[in-house]
Amino acid sequence: MDRHPQEPTPRGLILIGIGLFGVLAALLLGLKPSGLVPNSGGLELAREFFAAALDPAWTREPGGLTPNPTPLLPELGLAALRTLIFAAAAMSLSILVGLPLGVVASDTWWKRSSFASARITAAGRALQTGVRFWIALMRSVHELIWAVVLLAAVGLNTFGAVLAIAIPYAGTLAKVFSEMLDEAPRHSAKAFEGIGVRPLHVFLFGLLPRALPDMIAYTAYRFECAVRSSAVLGFFGYPTLGYYVSLSFGDGRFHETWTAIYLLLALILFLEWWSTAIRSRLVS
């Protein structure tokens, strides 16, 4: 059947559908641009806050428990370091859990040999489906919700904070790793199979190395996300950068808030530079 050039194609219809869905969602939520115009008090606050951006504090503004100005950077520097350490601990745990789960969830792992007997494959299917469900469970709850739950369960415990980030991150890593393994080029693995290499070695040395550059680049990106999550956990009272952001903002000490924000920015930029360096080495 010939289609008239003016007639919308299926792809066009899908795009129109997505657009309509967006409009419908906006209507249901009652989104009005006028709602974003602040009242006069809010405008004053916003002006004060953004004006402070140009003049971040180097010392703690006097007041409350500290009558004299005290240097701010050592304290915030330590908080930035703690933010990084929380994120690093959470990422290490996520990789330890996410990598094996991702391998078991991939199709490649189960189809790595054309000689696997049907019985193993059936049992494997069941395990794979179970693991995929488990991964979805870990991923579907956001780290902030895990933080609330763990805060209630174990109190303001460092390991609780690390777990709150590690659980959903391990799930996300597992999901993405399994997809990267399934999409990795097969040529080396096939060549290894052709010269009698054991299925496990075909996977480890023929397939995994083809997916590894992507997996490492993605992990580096997730590390950056983990630093942000770790900073935000400060809002719950963990001594990361977010703690100082929320405390100083609540007290109206905006200059200090900006110092913390700039430190977070510096941390993220540093990680970005680092992950780019790793990536360029991997892709040679």
Partner 1 sequence: MQSVDLEIASGEIVALVGPSGAGKTSMLRLLAGSLLADQGDAYFEGQRLSRLDAADLREVRSRIGFVHQDHSLVPIFRAHQNVIAGALGQRSFWAAARSMIRPTRSDLDRAHRLLARVGIPEKLCLRTDSLSGGQQQRVAIARALFQAPRALLADEPVASVDPTRARAVLTLMKDVARERGLTLVASLHDIRLARELFPRLVGLRAGRVAFDAATHEVDDTALEELYRLDGQALDSDG
Minimum CB–partner distance for residue 172 and partner 1 (Å): 24
Whichever of 168 and 199 has its CB closer to partner 1, that residue is: 199
Whichever of 191 and 277 has its CB closer to partner 1, that residue is: 191
Minimum CB–partner distance for residue 190 and partner 1 (Å): 7
8 A C-beta contact, residue 109 and residue 181: yes
Minimum CB–partner distance for residue 114 and partner 1 (Å): 9
Minimum CB–partner distance for residue 209 and partner 1 (Å): 5
Q: Token pair of 143, please?
A: 């780290």
Whichever of 12 and 209 has its CB closer to partner 1, that residue is: 209
Whichever of 4 and 119 has its CB closer to partner 1, that residue is: 119
Measured N-to-C along each axis, helices 208-232 and 187-194 cross at an angle, to the nearest 10 degrees, of: 140
**CB-based contacts of 204, cutoff 8 Å, min separation 6:** none
d(CA 139, CA 178): 14
d(CA 275, CA 218): 9
d(CA 183, CA 29): 39
List of residues contacting partner 1 (CB under 8 A): 113, 115, 185, 187-188, 190-198, 200-201, 204-206, 209-210, 212-213, 282, 284
Place of tokens 């929380």: 86
Whichever of 47 and 186 has its CB closer to partner 1, that residue is: 186
Minimum CB–partner distance for residue 203 and partner 1 (Å): 12
